[in-house]
Amino acid sequence: MAKPTQTTPETRSVRLLKVGEQVRHAISEMLTRQQVHDDVLTAHSVSVTEVRMSPDLRHATVFVKPLLGLDEEVVLKALRTHTAYFQKEVAGRLKLRFAAKIRFLGDESFDEASRIDALLADPRVLRDIGKDDEDAGEGEA
């Protein structure tokens, strides 16, 4: 059987998910305890929303979002400046065979969710949903 070419949450192994979650906790803890000495990171609350590990556990993509989405580019730049520190600390805390190369990206899922909510709140969509509910009610009687 051929392996799936695209990695989706359903096709990732439990080990990848566990290691990703451990990396997420380690980075979150470092940021919360302000163990990274950087003025930008000290001034912002940063949420680590997800970590996706490569199948060989050598690469970690870390999705982050500053509180209220303010100064996202500045925060990302500060995180990327300290990537080597994060890699060293994560490898030491998790006792992995290899230190995963970490890449920080902004998490766009909140923006996408807001966009979908706005679309669903559109009066035209609400009108169409209302018609579907009325049609279903008439067929049951």
Q: State residue 4's pLDDT score.
A: 45
- The per-residue pLDDT for 138 is 55
Question: The sheet that has 46-53: what strands, in order across it?
Answer: 46-53, 59-66, 101-106
Reported as half-sphere exposure (CB side, CA atoms, 13 A), residue 122 has a value of 9
The model carries a pTM of 0.71
Q: What is the pLDDT of residue 136?
A: 52
What is the CA 65 to chain-centroid distance, rounded?
8
pLDDT of 1 reads 44
**pLDDT at residue 131 in the model:** 64
In the 3-class helix/strand/coil scheme, how is 84-136 assigned residue by residue? HHHHHHHHHHHCCCCCCEEEEEECCHHHHHHHHHHHHCCHHHHHHHHHHHHHH
Q: Which residues of the chain have pLDDT under 50?
A: 1-4, 141
Question: 47 φ, ψ to 5°?
Answer: -100, 130
